């Protein structure tokens, strides 16, 4: 396979040794109680910090995918390193992690690009970006083999989100597709202030309320570096028939490190039909 995007964060944000990585993820799964959720999961939200900080939170969503099959997985993350307009798709080849190469669903990627003029190809947006890659080992452990479309958002306005959600649904058609919105929540506030800010986001996730989330972010009453990816996941989920939302877990870095002076918030949620 040509055009392989090499891991940018293996060995730092998560273990670089395959056996250790898989063992860690299975340990996270083992610590997740049965949620009782039985519907078809069409979208999820998961954090994108280093696994030592947010891996256990992410596991609450990804454990529910174990042994499920999807025709394609769309992973949407915010751009942390490269500024650009629109959304960048990595349309050919694959992403490599220590667990192997995840092939790009090239047909789906092209269909999304054709359906939304704001979707461009900017390889630089993917090379060092962690928000998409960090989700892949969890998906590889839960699903096994799958194809995916990596999307990095340079803009997270309501119009960009709405257009992308519509394009994803049009491209998906009748296929069974999973949407992953990659986001952390508030950054570098005290523990109590973080909980207060993050509760606003959590309420929007509970309600699958993308418009409410965007309004709250625009009003600066809450924070999320991947507000756009979360909104797209919820918008697409609604369009694909999701009528149930489940907030599975919230925590912040203070729960792991014990440092409650300056924390980052994390949430896991799923949207089902």
pLDDT in tens, 107-128: 999 999 999 999 999 999 999 9
In which band, very low, low, confident or very high, does the pLDDT at 58 lie, cut at 50, 70 and 90? very high
Residues 6+ apart with CB under 8 A from 41: 64, 65, 68, 178, 270, 271, 272
What SS3 class is residue 39?
coil
- Encode pLDDT of 213-272 as tens digits: 999 999 999 999 999 999 999 999 999 999 999 999 999 999 999 999 999 999 999 999
Helices (H), the chain: 18-30, 51-62, 106-115, 124-127, 130-133, 136-143, 158-172, 191-207, 210-218, 227-239, 253-257
At 35 the pLDDT is 83
State how beta strands 100-103 and 94-97 pair.
Answer: antiparallel
Share of the chain above pLDDT 90, in %: 97
Which pLDDT band holds residue 1 (cuts at 50, 70, 90)?
A: confident
pLDDT tens readout for residues 9-55: 999 999 999 999 999 999 999 999 988 898 899 999 999 999 999 99
Q: What is residue 209's DSSP assignment? A: -
The per-residue pLDDT for range 133-159, each reduced to its tens digit, is 999 999 999 999 999 999 999 999 999
> What's the rounded Cα separation, in Å, for the pair 250 and 241?
25
Place of tokens 């359906």: 115
pLDDT of residue 38: 83
Question: What is the pLDDT of the chain when averaged over all its residues?
Answer: 97
Residue 255 near residue 57, CB atoms below 8 Å? no
| pLDDT number for residue 165 | 98
d(CA 133, CA 16): 13
Say which residues have a Cβ less than 8 Å from residue 145's Cβ, sequence separation at least 6: none
Q: Which of 169, 165, 185 is nearest to 177 (CA)?
A: 169
CATH classification (class only), 13-272: alpha beta
């Amino acid at each position: 396979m040509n055009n392989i995007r090499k891991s940018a964060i293996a060995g730092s944000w998560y273990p670089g040794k395959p056996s250790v990585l898989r063992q860690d993820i299975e340990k996270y799964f083992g610590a997740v109680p049965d949620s009782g959720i039985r519907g078809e999961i069409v979208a999820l939200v998961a954090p994108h910090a280093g696994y030592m900080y947010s891996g256990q939170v992410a596991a609450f969503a990804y454990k529910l995918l174990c042994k499920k099959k999807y025709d394609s997985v769309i992973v949407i993350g915010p751009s942390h390193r490269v500024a650009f307009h629109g959304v960048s798709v990595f349309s050919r080849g694959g992403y490599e992690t220590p667990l192997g190469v995840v092939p790009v669903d090239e047909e789906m990627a092209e269909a999304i690009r054709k359906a939304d003029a704001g979707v461009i190809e900017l390889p630089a947006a993917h090379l060092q970006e962690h928000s998409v890659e960090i989700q892949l080992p969890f998906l590889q452990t839960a699903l096994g083999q799958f194809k995916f479309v990596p999307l990095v958002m340079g803009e997270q306005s309501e119009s960009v989100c709405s257009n992308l959600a519509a394009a994803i649904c049009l491209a998906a058609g009748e296929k069974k597709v999973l949407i992953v919105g990659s986001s952390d929540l508030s950054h570098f506030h005290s523990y109590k202030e973080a909980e207060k800010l993050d509760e606003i986001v959590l309420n929007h996730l509970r309600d699958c309320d993308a418009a409410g989330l965007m309004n709250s972010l625009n009003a600066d009453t809450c924070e999320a570096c991947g507000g756009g990816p979360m909104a797209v996941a919820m918008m697409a989920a609604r369009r694909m028939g999701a009528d149930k939302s489940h907030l599975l877990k919230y925590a912040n870095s203070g729960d792991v490190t014990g440092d409650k002076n300056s924390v980052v918030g994390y949430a896991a949620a799923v949207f089902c039909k």
